[in-house]
Amino acid sequence: MLLDRLDWRWLDARFLDSSVRSWIAAAGVAAASYLALLLIQRLVVRRVGRIAGRTVSGVDDLVVELARRTRRWLLLLTVIYFGSLFLNLPHRLDAVLRTAAVLAVLVQLALWSLTGIDFWVARTRRQRLAEDAASVSLIGLLAFIAKVVLAAVVLLLILDNLGVNVTALVAGLGVGGIAVALALQNILGDLLASLSIVLDKPFVLGDTINIGDLTGTVENVGLKTTHLRGTGGEQIVISNGDLVKSRIRNLKRMTERQVTLTFGVVYGTPVAALAAIPGLVREIVEAQEQVRFGRAHLKRLAEWSLEFEAAYAVLSPDYNLYMDRQQAINLALLRRLEDAGIALAFPTRTIHFAGEPAAAGDITSGP
């Protein structure tokens, strides 16, 4: 046979301490591995990509994106090292191929991680844009921080595999980071405060909030400041750091408005009329729609009036409805008190003298 006549001794020839037979086997393993990886990548992109278009789950979309971001030249470096395992290469060449493969794996993992971050950002923005638009800008900040941390870790790993002593570099970066943090502590404080606002959600865009003597509607939550639209139409800008340190009253999250009504009637009002006032207030409040009566009592005997206190709730957070019901109750109370002949008190003071003042001639001077 022809094959028997061929001289196969050339397969035993050696190159770089490995036979030609070993080189052929290594090349075959590397080529087969590379083609298998390319085939898997293509199948994932095509088959899983078609399935992803028909499902609402984000896992299959992420798998497709990871497959698309897989770089072929990085796969090639990896399979070359895998094939070299079948060879008896010189130590230095083997170390070079091993380092190249490790770097290829690190770079590919970094690309996959960046893809995962971008995928999470895009998906989260779509979900939160309608319900919590304030967090969209901060999601970008979180993604940026994650990418910076990822790049730093990958860079340190690459330098470590290249033989660079990263211990001193990490120590230097730590000292430099402390100095930068001290110089930018106010800005960093506002950034962390904005993150706290997004995660804790004391308010969202469109909420009306009260901070001290300031009241306004939230228009924007930025990385450093929050913008409110005041009740007078002016724009109020508050740093996020000051905002999270303040007591925030979220007026939009009220389910109802509690009202306390205080008024006083004059001394001298008959006791029977005084006893009828709580029932009179109750009738007035219960006659109003969307109002729940709480209580009404003669609270105290004040300096210049007999003071009554009543409490009721307007069963809606709407401010206009609250003012309408309060006005109706106040007017009805004034009308009923007037009909009953009960006068409202106002600050007065009566001074009673014990006797007539001394005449001018009675005043004598001292010795």
Task: DSSP letter for 17, please.
Answer: T
Q: What is the pLDDT of residue 23?
A: 73
Rounded to whole angstroms, the Cα distance separating 45 from 47 reads: 6
Q: What is the pLDDT of residue 367?
A: 37
What count of residues does the chain have? 367
Q: What is the pLDDT of residue 336?
A: 94
Q: What is the pLDDT of residue 293?
A: 95
For residue 365, the one-letter residue type is: S
Q: Are 227 and 236 in contact (CB under 8 A)?
A: yes
Write down the residue that tokens 């008024």 correspond to: 263
From the list 26, 21, 25, 68, the residue with the least C-alpha distance to 43 is 68
Q: Are 150 and 113 in contact (CB under 8 A)?
A: yes
Q: Is the pTM of this model over 0.85?
A: no
Written as six digits, the tokens of 23 are 């080189």
Q: Are 284 and 329 in contact (CB under 8 A)?
A: yes
Q: What is the pLDDT of residues 233-274, one digit of tens each?
A: 899 998 888 888 888 888 888 889 999 999 999 999 999 999
Q: Are 113 and 67 in contact (CB under 8 A)?
A: no
From the list 33, 154, 149, 169, the residue with the least C-alpha distance to 105 is 154
End-to-end CA distance of the chain: 160
Write down the residue that tokens 């010189």 correspond to: 90
Stretches where the chain sits below pLDDT 70 are 1-21, 52-54, 56-58, 128-138, 168-185, 350, 352, 355-367
Q: Are 108 and 70 in contact (CB under 8 A)?
A: yes
DSSP string, 323-356: HHHHHHHHHHHHHHHHHTTPPBP--------SSP
Q: What is the pLDDT of residue 323?
A: 93
Buried b (16+ CB within 10 A) or exposed e, 9-26: eeeeeeeeebbeebbeeb
Task: DSSP letter for 358, please.
Answer: P
Q: What is the pLDDT of residue 177?
A: 65
SS3 at position 233: coil
Strand partners, 259: 312
Buried b (16+ CB within 10 A) or exposed e, 136-171: bebbeebbeebbeebeeebeebbeeeeeeeeeeeee
